[in-house]
Amino acid sequence: MTISRRKFIKGIALTSIATACFSSIESFSAMNNETRKLKAKNGMVILFQGDSITDGNWGRNLDPNHIMGHGYAYSIASCLGADFPEKKLKFHNRGISGNKIIDLASRWQSDTLDLKPDLLSILVGVNDSSSVVLNWEPIISVEKYEAEFSSLLQKTREVFPNIVLVLCEPFILKVGKVAENWDAYHSDMVKRQAVVRKIATQFNAVFVGFQEVFNKACKKASADYWIWDGVHPTVAGHELLAREWLKQVERKISFKIANN
């Protein structure tokens, strides 16, 4: 039986690993030499950055009915916002359709640093991969992807030393144009996925591995049920992203309600 998002989150709370979330930079307490837990602060700013998968047609004005778009970022924000209203969490979506890593770099000051995020979640890479596979200029090699990505994270850490970074793995499924160029896409994508995992370790970031989530989901339903064109998730696919994001974030960061 499919688990609802709300039941999923409440289930996490019962495990005593902390409820569904994450924390910010208000306080650090070491559990051991490798693990630090953070306590969420009121007004914590959570920013989602990336390409069309994150974009989700988010509203380019202050209309709160559309401001987060219709994808996984919306699902995460709606769940956390509803479960922890006393924290007055602030969510921003700055994903832009068609963006590659160099496009993020060109708008990093205004769309990332100026928003002063406490937690920054990034999902980017499929357009970079398409540039190689489909010869879309400018072509972003795996090496350039890694260099640009690392540079952005370094700049961000210099400004916000205690920021929580969440790096999401780009993903594909064998559908549509991706299926037509599967060998090339798969060969390139696995390299970019390895890059994201690598730099997540280097920057002590939360790594969210999406590819395996979709691979497993395809045992229950066809690939196009989850990702209709090989790149963009369906409604059900976005829910998988949201659940995995929450699952991985709460493993490394605890969240406690004040006076609880």
Provide the pLDDT confidence category of residue 150 given band limits of 50, 70 and 90: very high
Residue 28 has pLDDT above 90, yes or no: no
Per-residue pLDDT, 253:
64
Percent of the chain with pLDDT over 70: 82
pTM of the model: 0.85
- Please give the single-letter amino acid code of residue 7: K
- Could you report the per-residue pLDDT of 76-98, keeping only the tens digit for each? 999 988 988 888 999 999 999 99
Q: What is the mean pLDDT of the chain?
A: 87
Tell me, what amino acid is at 45? V
**For the chain, which domains are there?**
5-252 (3.40.50.1110)
- pLDDT of 185 > 60? The answer is yes
- Please determine, for residue 31, whether its predicted confidence score (pLDDT) is greater than 80: no
